[in-house]
Amino acid sequence: MLDPNKAHYVVATAIVIKEGKYLIAKRSANEKVAPNEWTVPGGKMEQSDYTTRKKDTAVHWYNVCEHTVRREVKEEVGLEIANIRYLTSLAFVRPDGIPTIIISLFADHATGEVTLCKDLTDYKWVTLDEARNYKLIEGIFEELEMLDKHLKGKTIGEWKK
């Protein structure tokens, strides 16, 4: 039986990098969480993100977060991504009471031009300094700072405000 104390949504997000800039997108006014705020693409893991694929071992599917974030980035902004890497993770309880774990990743833009889904209303490719001018979902700017440090060869450590 599913233990409700251990049940969560799992979300994978990606900071997409292109020519030294980061992709941010504005959420629509209709979103339940953080309407009209700027974020990075990503979304909830679905069982089909792994169950429709061949298992990598007799009982396991590997790279499920990577598969989810590839699908979500394609669905939300129309881009293909490559070189997916881990940045940080976080947990929160949504306004509807559902506990959620977010795995924050980063990736290089591989191909495609930005085409927004219906849940996003605008996008920008920004530097870290330019990102300060947007109402980002709380914590996203610090994630951009972490990534910026990493790309400059510095140790990023853990998320800090």
Contact 105, 84 (CB under 8 A): yes
- 19 falls in which pLDDT band (50, 70, 90)? very high
Dump pLDDT digits (tens) for 81-106: 999 999 999 999 988 899 999 999 99
Considering the chain, what percentage of its residues have pLDDT values greater than 70? Answer: 100
Tell me which of 2.60.40.10, 1.10.10.10, 1.10.3470.10, 3.90.79.10 is the CATH number of domain 9-151.
3.90.79.10
Mean per-residue pLDDT over the chain, rounded? 95
- Work out the average pLDDT over 153-159: 88
- 37 falls in which pLDDT band (50, 70, 90)? very high
What predicted TM-score, i.e. pTM, was given to this entire model?
A: 0.94
Q: Which of 26-35, 63-72, 102-111 has the lowest mean pLDDT?
A: 26-35
Q: What is the pLDDT of residue 111?
A: 98
Buried/exposed code over 70-106 (b: 16+ C-beta within 10 A; e: otherwise): bbbbbebbebebeebeebbeeeeeeeeeeeeebbbbb
Task: Give the separation between CA 145 and CA 96, rounded to whole angstroms.
Answer: 30
Q: What are the strands, taking DSSP E only, across 67-140?
A: 80-93, 99-111, 120-126
Beta-bridge partner residues of 122? 26
3-state secondary structure of 75: helix
Residue 130 above 80 pLDDT? Answer: yes
- Work out the average pLDDT over 137-157: 94
- Work out the average pLDDT over 49-56: 93
Q: Any idea where the domains of the chain sit in the sequence?
A: 9-151
List phi, psi (to 5°) of 54. Answer: -70, 140
3-state secondary structure of 157: coil
Task: Give the separation between CA 148 and CA 137, rounded to whole angstroms.
Answer: 18
Residue 124 above 80 pLDDT? Answer: yes
Between residues 124 and 34, the one the model is more confident about: 124
Instruction: Name residue 46's amino acid.
Output: E
